C-alpha cells in the first residue's frame, strides 16, 4: 500500500501528529451537540414559560375549577364521570354538602339547621344530592371562592399589567385582608365545634358560618394571593426572559418567533 501523501510528499511525523489531533478533535464533540440540543430545548421551555407564565397559571386554576363540572355531568346522566371527579377532588376538600354549593336545584346551598358530630359529617360528605335538590360541587364554598377569584384576579391582572406597573401588595395587607378574615371565620367555627364536642355543656350550639361568609373570605384569600405574588412572579419571569433572550439572540435567532 502506498503511503498517503501530503501536498505530493510523504507525510512526516509532524503531519501524522497534526492528522491525529484533527481526528481526535473531530471525535471529541460528538456527544456535545446532543447534550447542547437538550440544554437548548430546556432553555426554550423556560423561555416559553417566562413569556406565558400568567396564561399557564390561569389555565391551571381554571382546570382546577373543573370541580364545578360534576353537577353538570349528573344533570346529563353521566354518573360515572361525575363520580371520578368527586373522587379526584375528595383528598383536596371535605366536600361536606352543608358547606358546598348546589346546582340545578331550588337552592344554591343547604346550611345546617342543627349541629352534627364529626363522624356524621364524614358520612354526609359522600352525599352528592339528587334531581330534586340539585347536585353539589366537588369543592366547598370557601374553595370555590378562593380559586374562582384567583382566576378572575389573574385575568384582570393580565389586562392591567400591559398598561401600567402594578405594585405587589405588602405582606401586612395580604395578612390583614386575605388571611385574617378567613382565619377568623373558619377558626372560630372550628374552635366552637371542638368545644361543643369535647366539653359538653360549655356551649349549646357551635358557631356555623354562612355560605356567603365562606365564599367572601375565600375570595379575599384568593385575591390576596394574586395581588401579593403575581407582580413578583412577573418581575422574575421578565428577568428570566431577558437573560435567555440575550444569551440566544445570536445562536438561536428564532427564539422569539418560535416561542
Q: Does 259 fall in a domain?
A: no
Q: What pLDDT digit, counting tens, does each position of 40-98 carry?
A: 778 788 888 889 999 999 999 999 999 999 999 999 999 999 999 999 999 999 999 99
What pLDDT sits at residue 15? 63
pLDDT of 195 > 60? The answer is yes
Residue 122 sits at φ, ψ, to 5 deg, of -65, -35
Q: Is 223 among the domain residues?
A: yes
Domain assignment present for 3: no
- The verdict on residue 161 lying in a domain is yes
Domain-embedded: residue 31: no
pLDDT at residue 253 above 50?
no
Question: 206 and 193 in contact (C-beta within 8 Å)?
Answer: yes
Q: For all residues of the chain together, what is the average pLDDT?
A: 86
Query: Does 179 or 116 have the greater pLDDT score?
Result: 179
> What local confidence, expressed as pLDDT, does residue 115 receive?
86
HSE (side-chain half, CA atoms, 13 Å) at 248: 23
Total domains present in the chain:
1
Contact 53, 259 (CB under 8 A): no
Q: Residue 165 has what pLDDT? A: 86
**pLDDT tier, 28 (very low <50, low <70, confident <90, very high otherwise):** low
Q: Determine the structural domain holding residue 211 and report its residue range.
A: 50-243
pLDDT top residue among 152 and 197? 152
Higher pLDDT, 251 or 38: 38
Query: Does 27 map to a domain?
Result: no
Contact status, residue 121 vs residue 208, Cβ threshold 8 Å? no
Predicted local distance difference test score (pLDDT) of residue 25: 58
Tell me which DSSP letter residue 6 carries. B
Q: What is the pTM of this model?
A: 0.80
Does 217 reside within a domain? yes
Q: Count the neighbouring beta carbons within 10 Å of the beta carbon of residue 140.
A: 27
pLDDT at 155 over 70: yes
Backbone angles phi, psi at 129, to 5 degrees: 105, -170
Confidence of residue 251 (pLDDT cuts 50, 70, 90): very low
Q: Is residue 37 part of a domain?
A: no
DSSP 136: E
From residue 37, how far is each of 40, 240, 251 by CA, in Å? 5, 19, 12
Judged against a pLDDT cut of 80, whether residue 32 lies above it is answered with no
Question: Residue 9 pLDDT more than 70?
Answer: no
Amino acid at each position: 500500500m502506498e503511503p498517503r501523501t501530503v501536498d505530493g510528499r510523504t507525510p512526516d511525523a509532524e503531519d501524522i501528529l497534526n492528522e491525529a489531533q484533527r481526528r481526535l478533535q473531530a471525535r471529541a464533540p460528538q456527544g456535545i451537540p446532543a447534550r447542547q440540543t437538550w440544554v437548548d430545548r430546556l432553555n426554550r421551555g423556560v423561555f416559553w414559560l417566562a413569556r406565558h407564565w400568567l396564561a399557564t397559571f390561569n389555565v391551571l386554576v381554571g382546570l382546577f375549577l373543573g370541580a364545578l363540572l360534576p353537577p353538570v355531568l349528573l344533570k346529563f346522566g353521566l354518573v360515572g364521570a361525575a363520580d371520578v371527579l368527586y373522587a379526584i377532588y375528595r383528598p383536596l376538600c371535605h366536600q361536606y354538602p352543608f358547606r358546598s354549593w348546589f346546582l340545578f336545584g331550588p337552592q344554591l346551598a343547604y346550611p345546617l339547621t342543627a349541629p352534627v358530630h364529626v363522624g356524621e359529617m364524614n358520612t354526609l360528605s359522600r352525599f352528592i344530592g339528587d334531581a330534586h335538590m340539585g347536585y353539589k360541587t366537588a369543592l366547598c364554598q370557601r374553595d370555590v371562592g378562593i380559586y374562582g377569584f384567583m382566576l378572575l384576579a389573574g385575568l384582570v391582572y393580565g389586562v392591567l399589567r400591559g398598561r401600567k406597573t402594578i405594585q405587589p401588595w405588602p405582606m401586612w395587607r395580604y395578612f390583614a385582608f386575605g388571611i385574617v378574615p378567613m382565619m377568623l371565620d373558619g377558626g372560630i367555627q372550628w374552635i366552637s365545634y371542638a368545644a361543643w364536642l369535647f366539653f359538653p355543656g360549655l356551649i349549646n350550639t357551635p358557631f356555623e358560618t354562612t355560605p356567603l361568609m365562606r365564599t367572601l373570605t375565600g375570595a379575599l384569600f384568593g385575591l390576596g394571593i394574586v395581588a401579593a405574588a403575581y407582580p413578583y412572579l412577573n418581575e422574575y419571569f421578565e428577568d428570566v426572559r431577558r437573560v435567555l433572550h440575550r444569551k440566544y439572540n445570536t445562536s438561536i435567532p428564532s427564539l422569539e418567533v418560535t416561542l
